[in-house]
Amino acid sequence: MGMDVEQPPARAPGAVVRVAAVGDVHCREDHREQAIETFAALRGRADLLLLAGDLTTHGEPAQGAVLADACRDLGMPVFAVLGNHDWHVNRHDELVEALREGGIAVLEREHAICEVKGVEVGIVGVKGFVGGFPGSHLPDFGEPLLRAVYAEGSREVEALDRGLREIALCPLRLVLLHYSPTLETLAGEGEGIMAFLGTDRLAAPLREHEPTLAVHGHAHAGTFSGTVGSVPVYNVSVPVLGRDFQLFELSADEQAAAPIH
């Protein structure tokens, strides 16, 4: 299916870093050759790859091994977050081990910094969580199970804020999510399921720290492009893209870092 190139708002001149992104690839064993062929097309066309969750169909380690094989020899850093599909069979540790054996850096409420073309690129990876938007917010009230859902969302938000503080001096600062931080990239989805597609509680750290861009998946019937404040947010779910990957060309300068808060 190929890929398109997106150029977010211009930044300070500098080296151009090509970031490929995609979510919801839903790898499975009977599509191994197709996955390997699809990812091989990235060689020489991207400098870094972001995988926005739902890496597998049901979270089976063997399905993760398919993606690991597809990414193993790409010759670029690969970062991923898990999605809801990746948790389905609850074999988290085995799945993450399988992915990491293929050189995929799985970020779980973590950040990473890598050097690409002499540019320090900071990546914060959190899955995000459900929780809703204006008119559909899940409150921190009532039954313990519902309050536990709210608390889980809080941990994701806190990790996003913490990670963005840690990469504040990087010229390029990328946020990798599975769930959406904005209604804009959910446009097209049914209103009744918005609370299950993300939460605008994730938006506060984006507004405060102003990363270069954020990507997410999960919302298969959503919209490609949105914003949180001045931050471009992209829904890179395969069904939304209608192609294999989205390629972002990002320019950076060593003085383009966000202020430290």
Query: How many Cβ atoms are within 10 Å of 161's Cβ, its own excluded?
Result: 19
Ranges of each domain in the chain: 3-251
Token digits for 257? 């870092």
Please list, in sequence order, all residues whose beta carbon lies within 8 angstroms of the beta carbon of residue 79, skipping any fewer than 6 positions away: 48, 49, 50, 51, 104, 105, 107, 112, 123, 125, 176
Query: How many Cβ atoms are within 10 Å of 145's Cβ, its own excluded?
Result: 7
Residue 94, pLDDT score: 98
Residue type, 154: S
Task: Supply φ then ψ for residue 84, to 5 degrees.
Answer: -65, -35
DSSP string covering 36-62: HHHHHTTTTT-SEEEEES--BSS--HH
Report which of 139, 126, 145, 61 is spatially closest to residue 98, judged by C-alpha positions: 61
Residue 197, pLDDT score: 98
Q: What is the largest CA-CA distance in the chain?
A: 53
> pLDDT class for 248, splitting at 50, 70, 90?
very high
Residue 5, pLDDT score: 56
Q: What is the mean pLDDT of the chain?
A: 93
Residue 254, pLDDT score: 41
pLDDT tens figures, 1-50: 455 655 454 444 568 999 999 999 999 999 999 999 999 999 999 999 99
> pLDDT class for 206, splitting at 50, 70, 90?
very high
Q: How far apart are CA 252 and CA 254, in angstroms?
A: 7
Q: Beta 213-216 vs 104-106: how paired, if at all?
A: unpaired
Residue 127, pLDDT score: 98
Q: What is the topology classification, in CATH, of domain 3-251?
A: Purple Acid Phosphatase; chain A, domain 2 (3.60.21)
3-class secondary structure, 181: coil
The whole-model pTM stands at 0.92
